[in-house]
Structure 1
C-alpha cells in the first residue's frame, strides 16, 4: 500500500482545493501523489498494473481512467523515455493528475486529457500498449458510493466492462499489449470480450495470502494475435504477518517490473 505522509504548506497549488487530501508515496518514495483522503485513492492494484506493461523507451502507452495519475507515473518512472497519455472524464481527477505530473517532474513523459473511454472518434491503433483499471462493480449490482469520484471509479456508470476493453482494442496497434487489473470473479467476462480480438492471453492471480482465494487478477493480451492462453502461478502478496512478501516488495517499493513472460517460463526477471 502507499506510504502516507502529511502535505507541507509550501506544496499547495492555487486553483486546486487541497483540503482533505494527503501526499502518498509509491515505489519506495520514487513517486509521490496528492490525492483525496476520502474517495478514489491509489491502491496496490495500481502499482502492480503499471509494473506489468512491457513498455520500452520511446514507446507510447495510453491509460483509460487515469484518476490521480498513479499508474501512469509509476510506469514513466520505471521506464525512462516511455511516453504515457492518460484519459480521464472527471475534472477533479484531471486536476489531481496534472498536479502530480508536475510534482514528480514527469511532464516530458506523461500528459493527461479529458475524455471518456466510450469516445472512439480518434484514429485507431496509435499506441504500443494500453492499461486500464476498470470499475469493479457492474451497474445496479451494489449500492453506489455517495462520493462522485469514488462512485465512478468503483461502479460501471459511464461505460461497461465491454466498453473499457473496446477502448483498449481501439487504441493499440496490431500485436500491441492490453493490460487489465480486475476482479478475479469477473475474469471470465474480460476473456469473453477479448475473444477473437486479442490472443496470447496471460492471467496472473494476486493471492492476498497463502491459501486465500485471489480477489484480483491481471490479464494481459496482444491485439490481433492467436496465441494460446496461460494461467500463471501468480504472486502471494502478504505473508502470515501481514507484511508484503519479498516478491511483492520488489515490485511495490523497489521498482522492479512484473515480467509476465518470465513468469510464463517459470521465473521472474529482476
Structure 2
C-alpha cells in the first residue's frame, strides 16, 4: 500500500485517510481552505480539480457533494498516491484521476461540459534556474514550470458550462493578474476572501470564485484568520477537525 517514505495521514474533519510523503508532496492548509470555499452542487454534477497533487481537494469535496469528481495531475508519483488514497477510502465510484497536462484536458474531455473547476496552482513565476527547488516534485508544485496562471484560467474557462463555477486559491500579490485573466476568459469574479495568518498581519492567501459568463457583482467575504493566541481559530479548527 505505502511506498518508500510515504505515510497514511488522517483528514480528521472528514474521517478520511490520505497518502503523503515529506520528500514528494504533503498538502497545505491552502487546499483545505479551497475545498471549504468553493460552491459545489450537493447531489449531482461534474467537478474537475486541476493540479490535483495527491488528491487532497477531491477527497475533501467528496464529503460535500455526491457529484462525480475528476482530478488532473501531471506527475506520475503524485497521481499514483492520489489513486491509492481514493482506493483506500473506498471512493472509486465517485472520484477518478487522470494523469496528464492540464493544457490537453479540454480537447480530451470536451469543452463546456463541467459544473465546477477548482485549482490550487503553482503560485510563483519561474525564477532563475539557481533559485528553483532542487526537489523536482516541489519545484513543479510551486513554480510555473509546466503550467502558467494563464494556462490554468484558460483551461478552466474552456472546461466549464455556461454558469459553471471556477474557484482558485493563490497569493494576494497576484490578485490583479488573476482578475484580469478571469475577465479575459469570461470568468466573472463573484466571491473573494482574504486569509490572514493572524490579526494584524498582512493577508497571505487569496480565495476567489468566478462564474462562466456571469454578471459583474463581486462579494468580498469577511476576513479569515488562521491563528489566534497561538491556536487555530474556531473556524479553521472546524475545517480541520470537524465540529
User: How many residues were matched structurally?
Assistant: 238
Matches within 5 A, 1:91-110: 91-110=76-95
Offset at residue 208 of structure 1 (A): 0.7
Corresponding residue of 2:34: 49
Deviation at 1:163, TM superposition (A): 0.3
Q: Distance in 1 between matches of 2:89 and 2:38?
A: 20
Secondary structure, in 3 states, of the residue corresponding to 2:107?
coil
Per-residue CA deviation, residues 72-99 of structure 1 (Å, 9 max, x unaligned), is 00101232x2210011111111110000
RMSD over aligned Cα atoms = 1.6
Among 45, 49, 53, the alignment partner of 1:63 is: 49
TM-score (norm 1): 0.84
Residue 226 (structure 1) aligned to one of 212, 215, 231: 215
Q: Distance in 2 between matches of 1:108 and 1:221?
A: 28
> Which residue is equivalent to 2:63?
77
List gaps (5 residues or longer) in structure 2: none
Q: Distance in 1 between matches of 2:12 and 2:43?
A: 19
Corresponding residue number in structure 2 for 1:133: 120
Evaluate the alpha carbon distance shift between residue 140 and residue 200 of structure 1 in structure 2; reply closer, same or farther with a 3 A threshold: closer
Confirm whether residue 21 of structure 1 aligns to residue 13 of structure 2: no
SS at match of 1:19: coil
Contact kept in structure 2, 1:182 and 1:216, CA below 8 Å: yes
Q: Which residue of 1 aligns with 2:21?
A: 36
State the match for 1:116 in structure 2: 101
- Between the aligned partners of 1:139 and 1:200, the Cα distance in structure 2 is 26
By how many angstroms is 1:40 displaced?
2.1
Report the equivalent of 1:263. none
1:205 matched to 2:191: no
Question: How far does the alpha carbon of each residue in 1:31-68 deviate from its partner, in whole angstroms, 9 at most, with x for none?
Answer: 21111112321111111111122212211100111110
1:249 — aligned with what? 237
Q: Mean Cα displacement is larger for which, 24-33 or 148-157?
A: 24-33
- Deviations 1:5-52 (CA, angstroms, capped at 9, x unpaired): xxxxxxx35xxxx22122222243612111111232111111111112
Equivalent residues of 1:198, 1:226 under 8 A apart: no
Return the match for 1:145 from 110, 120, 133. Answer: 133
List alignment gaps of at least 5 residues for structure 1.
1-11, 256-270
